[in-house]
Structures are given as structure tokens and as C-alpha cells.
Amino acid sequence: MPDPLPSAYRILTAASLPAYLATLPGIPARLGGAPSAWQVRDVADGNLNAVFLVDGPEGGLCVKQALPYVRVVGESWPMDIHRAFFEARYIARVAPFAAGLAPRLHHYDDAQFVMVMDKLAPHTILRRALLEGRHMPRAAADLADYAARASFHTSDLAQPFERRFEDLLVFSRSLALQRITVDLVFTDPFAEHERNRFPRPHLTAWAAALREDAAVKDAVATLRRAYLGKPQSLIHGDLHSGSVMVTPEETRVIDGEFACVGPSGFDIGHVLAHFALAWFARPQGDPLRPLLAADMAVFWDSFRRRFLALWEGAEATGDAFPASHYPGPAGAARMARQRAAYLDDIFADARGFLAVEIIRRIIGFAQVADFQARAGEEERASAMASALAFARSLLVWPERYGDIADLTAALPRFDGAGLDPRPTRPW
Ligand code: ADP
Ligand code: MG
């Protein structure tokens, strides 16, 4: 059971926010002027929390407060407010490695479950930009850089195991949100569940086909076990295009409340999944499509290159490969093979998580806005069905997708696969 609400906890409103912020150390100076001059805007467009942007004469801040329930659903779905603690810990833990790619955290209030961070402006949510047909040229490479730095530096490749175990101790207590991932990502979409929100009746047969496909279920079971039992590095846990704010020049990762220690391929698969979802959501011939396919390749290739560069550098002082382990030139060759195998393993995990993420975003509770790019329910459902066909293929025939080029080359093959879930071609 989640801890009871601390008695001092109050839900902030736009009206009560200035007086509250005035009490926090260092915060009034960042805004400047008197609290009465601060402009507050409620911008919560996410699913879970209250978010305000505050502007003063000297600068702007973003204030995020965890609510004791799921914001989009209401009080009927209670949700542990300690998620704010884990988001704040995640930001602080990754900040030394991800300099410049996430907003800075200026204050965390452990009585009100409030984070005060940089206000990102004029940034927009990446998903929104893509929905409007605007390609963001830096996003893929920047996200690769972020993911490589965060996953390398919090792994056994860079850290003594004692340090990683500290992360495990902290983030293993984030039970409520990891429960959501286990249920909403890995479980509900592959069973009959009232929370599943796919368009009916168009995708009813697809939902049943996925539920009844033994090969799909086996692959998902393996991935669920990896999420639960492969503590490789600290992961963001929800790294989709709605958790990324962009301008054409800048990329910032937000919303790390699902952070946990898990398989590094989880975040990688999520980024790829949301580029792929955006690809399927665009109509045929849309100029964004080739750019999104290129983003997938740029993201993976940059991640791999950056991760290897970090591993070959001076900071690879973790316990996984002590310097004494592979001495001499023969050792160097063995080490190179180890590195390649490690990256292949991340890719294999990412390919699976990519597929599960696509499925859960179409069949499950948390739908994505990308498909609004299609007019009409039937056309939207067809685009979703194509994405499902792609995802199922990755789960059932992973050996056909040995590298990123195999993935991007496959996208058009599933385009227009139709609403009938029976495979007509041997994918
Ligand atoms: P939730 O966890 O409820 O999904 P998010 O962290 O995704 O909340 O934030 C919700 C929305 O608030 C984002 O989609 C974005 O529009 C806005 N937002 C969040 N953080 C910032 C920030 N640092 N600067 C500006 N806007 C932000
Ligand atoms: Mg969130």
C-alpha cells in the first residue's frame, strides 16, 4: 500500500502558487520582483501530474506537483505521490552526465511533492511538433547522446557495483509506477482488460489475435522478465516523444517519474517505437516519413557510437570489466568482441521493447495522439493495424531484424496491411 498522504500536503493551484514559491529557498530570486507580479499558467497536458509555468521579471520556472491520483482519470484512480521523489532523484542522478539535455532541477519539496525546474521556452513537445508535420532535426542525435550517457554512466561498465546497488536501493522503492509499467505495458494489452482502449470494432480482431498468438505471448513474457530482472542501468522508463521538449536547435528530456534500474534497451526501444508510431501515423507519401525512418537509424547508430566511445574512454572504470581482465593485444581483441556483443544485446532488447510499446500504445490504456494525423476512424484504425503488423513481426521473427536498417526497411512493407490480423505474407 502507498504511504498515507502527509498531513501538510496541499494541492497547489494557480492562485496559491506564488505565495508558496515565495517560501522556497532561492526561487523568488530566480523569478525576480514581488510574488504579486508573477504570472502563472496551468499547462498540465500530461496524464498524471499538475504542471504550472511561472514567469517573473527575471526569469521563468516550471513547477510540477504529484497529485494523489491520476490526473486524467481523477480520484477514482489513486496514485502514490512519492513518484515526484523518484523523478527528482532521477533528474539529479542523470544531471552530471546529461548536461544540457534535461531541465535543471532547482528545488524539490518532499512535503508537497513539488519539483521546481527550468522552464523550457520556446520548446514544444516533440510529439506535438511531429503531429503538426514539423521535423526536429536535432532530436534523434540528441536523444541518442542522452541515452548513451545515462545508460553507460549508471551501468557496471562505468560504476563500481556498490554505486549501482545504491541506485537499485533507491529506485526499487518506486513500486507504484513500476506496477503501472508491468500492468499497462506488458500485461493488459495481451489480455482482455477493461482499461484497453483500442478503436472498436475496427481493431477487435487484432486485439484477439495478439492475445491468442503463442509466439507473441512467449516473446512478451521474456521482455516482461527482462524489465523486472535485468538491472543493467538507470533508465528513464517512459522515454517517448511526449517526454521530450524540442526546438529545431535543442532537445530536452523531461518526465522521468517512471525511472528505475532496468534493461538499457528499454529506453532505446521506446524512442524507436515512437518514431515508428509517428511513421505509421503519417499518410503515404507524407514528407515526414523518410525523415522519421532516418531518425530511427540516426538514433540507433549515434547511440551505439557514443556508447562505445564512452566505453573506450577513461571513465570505463566499473566492475564489469576490470582493466586486469583482458591484458595485452589478445585481450584488446576479446574486449572489442565483448563490446560488440553488449551492444547487440541492447539492440535485441530494444527491438522487443519497441514492439511491445507500439502494441500497448494502440491496444492498451495510454493511446498516442500521433494517429490524429489521419482523418476518420477507419483510416486511423488501418494505420494502427499496420503498426501492429510491424510490431508482431518483430516479436515473432526477431532474427529477420538483425540491425536498424532491417527495421527501417520493413516499415513500408507493413503499410496498408489492412485490418485483418491474419498474416498474408510470411513475416
Ligand atoms: P506528466 O508526468 O503529468 O505527464 P509532464 O512532465 O509530461 O507531466 O509535463 C506535462 C506538460 O507540462 C508537458 O507536456 C509540457 O507541455 C509541460 N512541461 C513539463 N515540463 C516543462 C518544463 N520544464 N518547461 C516547460 N514546460 C514543461
Ligand atoms: Mg509523466
Q: What pLDDT score does 426 carry?
A: 53
Is residue 99 scored above 90 in pLDDT? no
Position 425 scores a pLDDT of 63
| 224 in Cβ contact with 182 (< 8 Å) | yes
Distance 61 CA to ligand 1 centre (A): 12
Residues with CB under 6 A from ligand 1: 43-49, 51, 53, 62, 64, 103, 117-120, 125, 254-255, 257
Q: Are 54 and 31 in contact (CB under 8 A)?
A: yes
How far, in Å, is the centroid of ligand 2 from the Cα of 314? 35
Report CA(410)–ligand 2 centroid distance (Å): 31
User: What confidence score (pLDDT) does residue 322 get?
Assistant: 95
Q: Which of 54, 55, 63, 64 to mutate to test the pocket of ligand 1 (most atoms within 8 A of CB)?
A: 64
CA-to-CA distance for 272 and 291, rounded, in angstroms? 13
Instruction: State the closest ligand 1 atom to the C-alpha of 254, by its place in the atom list counted from 1.
Output: 6
Q: What is the mean pLDDT of residues 278-289?
A: 97
| This prediction's pTM | 0.97
- pLDDT for 84: 98
Distance 298 CA to ligand 1 centre (A): 26
Q: What is the mean pLDDT of residues 401-414?
A: 97
- To test the pocket of ligand 1, the residue of 11, 255, 258 to mutate (highest count of ligand atoms within 8 Å of its CB) is 255
pLDDT band at 177 (very low <50, low <70, confident <90, very high): very high
Q: Determine the atom of ligand 1 nearest the C-alpha atom of 48.
A: 3
CA of 5 to the centre of ligand 1 (A): 23
Domain ranges of the chain: 22-118, 124-414
pLDDT mean over 315-340? 96
- Summarize pLDDT for 343-387 with one digit per residue, the tens: 999 999 999 999 999 999 999 999 999 999 999 999 999 999 999
How many residues are given for the chain?
A: 427
Q: Which value, to the nearest 10 degrees, does the dihedral of the CA atoms of residues 86, 260, 70, 38 take?
A: 40
- Please say whether the structural domain 124-414 has been given the CATH code 3.90.1200.10: yes
Query: Does 388 have pLDDT greater than 90?
Result: yes
The 10 Å Cβ neighbour count of residue 295 is 28
Instruction: Say if residues 269 and 357 touch (Cβ distance below 8 Å).
Output: yes
CA distances in angstroms from 52 to 16, 21, 82, 196, 247, listed in the order given: 11, 12, 19, 30, 20
**Of 245, 274, 248, nearest to 53 (Cα)?**
245
Q: What is the pLDDT of residues 212-241, one digit of tens each?
A: 999 999 999 999 999 999 999 999 999 999
Q: Which three cell numbers stand for residue 418?
A: 489492412
Indicate the residue type of 210: L
User: Which residue, by CA, sits nearest to atom 12 of ligand 1?
Assistant: 44
How far is the C-alpha of 204 from the C-alpha of 417, rounded, in Å? 16
Among protein residues, the one whose CA lies closest to atom 1 of ligand 1: 46
Q: What is the pLDDT of residues 105-121, one digit of tens each?
A: 999 999 999 999 999 99
Count CB-CB contacts under 10 A for residue 285: 6
Report phi then psi at 124, rounded to 5.
-125, 165
Ligand 1 atom at minimum distance from 43 CA: 12
Spatial CA neighbour of 278 closest among 103, 140, 167: 140
Calpha distance 47→266 (Å, rounded):
21
Task: Write the CATH number of the domain with boundaries 22-118.
Answer: 3.30.200.20
Ligand 1, atom nearest to 124 Cα: 16
Mean pLDDT of 21-35: 98
Q: pLDDT value at position 278?
A: 98
Share the mean pLDDT of the chain. Answer: 96
What does the angle CA 46 – CA 72 – CA 133 come to, to the nearest 5 degrees?
A: 40
**Among protein residues, the one whose CA lies closest to atom 23 of ligand 1:** 119
The pLDDT value recorded for residue 417 is 86
User: One fold for both 22-118 and 124-414?
Assistant: no
Atom of ligand 1 at shortest distance to CA of 121? 25
Q: In this structure, what C-alpha cell is assigned to residue 427? A: 513475416
pLDDT in tens, 131-144: 999 999 999 999 99
Which of the four pLDDT bands, split at 50, 70 and 90, describes residue 73? confident
Q: How many Cα neighbours within 13 Å face the side chain of 68?
A: 13
Predicted confidence at residue 4, as pLDDT, reads 75
Ligand 1 atom 8, closest CA: 46
- Write out the H or E segment, with its range, that includes residue 171: helix 161-171
Q: Residue 123: is its pLDDT beyond 70?
A: yes
Q: Is the pLDDT of residue 2 over 90?
A: no
| Percentage of residues of the chain with pLDDT beyond 90 | 93
